[in-house]
Every structure is written in C-alpha cells, then in structure tokens.
Amino acid sequence: MKVSNPIFKVPLKLTKKSVTSGGSRQAFFFKNTFPLNLKYKKLMIKPVYKAGRNNTGRVVVNSKKSKLCNPTRPKVNYNFRTKNLGFIGGFFFIPNINKLASFLMLSSGAITFVPSTTTHELFTLTRFKGIMRDS
C-alpha cells in the first residue's frame, strides 16, 4: 500500500494595490484566499461627527484630527432574541467605551456581535435563552 504525500498550498495570493498615486504603482500585498475575515465590514460602524457642519448639514470646516482617533467599532446587538444553536467565534474589544463584544455565529448562517458575559466560552456550542418562557 502506497501513501502519497498531500500537497499543501499556501493560502496567500500576491495582489497589486490599486493605483492612487505614482508611489502606489509599486505596492503589492498578500491576500488571504480563505474567507476568514472575522471583522465583517457590514457589522462595523464608523461614527460620523457633526463638528464642522452648518445648520443644513454641509461641511464648512474639515476635521483636523487623525484617523486613529476615530476607529471603527462593531454594531452590538443588544436585543438578541434568536434561540438557534451557535458558537462564539471570537471577542472584540471596543477601545473608547471599554466594552467587550462576542462574535457569534449561528447555525442559521447569521453572524452578529453580542455583549460579552463572564460565561461566554470560545468554540462551545451554545443556545441562548429567549425572553419569553417556552410552554
């Protein structure tokens, strides 16, 4: 009986950055071919500050602060009522508010951030309790 060695491919692909200036024509980066991005863009929000706008909402003065002061944060689902089976895939720390959110993946395919508690465990199958008692 002959056992063949499996061929492992690196899940990274070298891609060229889109052109934004003359210097970026030489920029390349590695892109992961697996869809393992745990920070889903649709679940993240970036707050827009009303500073520098007039009474109609138009920008009068542009902001002079850096982008590091305005980080993206997740949309936390405080009214979570689904009783589907799921597991916690990770945690996300919200820096300015000092809160911890759990990244929840459900069996129905839904993905959401919920507030973390002391009983949350990574990669353990859980079923959350609903608001109403089952009869």
Under the banding of pLDDT at 50, 70 and 90, the label for residue 135 is very low
Domain 12-127 belongs to what architecture? Beta Barrel (2.40)
Please, what's the b/e burial string for 14-28 (b: 16 or more CB within 10 A of its CB; e: otherwise)?
Answer: eeeeeeeeeeeeeee
pLDDT in tens, 39-72: 567 788 877 666 777 888 788 877 666 656 667 7
114: three-class secondary structure by DSSP? strand
Percent of the chain with pLDDT over 90: 7
pLDDT in tens, 78-124: 988 888 899 998 888 887 788 899 988 898 888 889 999 888 888 88
Number of other residues whose CB lies within 10 A of the CB of residue 106: 17
Q: How much is the pTM?
A: 0.57
pLDDT over 70 at 36, yes or no: no
Please, what's the b/e burial string for 52-83 (b: 16 or more CB within 10 A of its CB; e: otherwise)?
Answer: eeeeeeeeeeeeeeeeeeeeebbebbeebebe
User: What pLDDT, on the 0 to 100 scale, is given for residue 128?
Assistant: 77
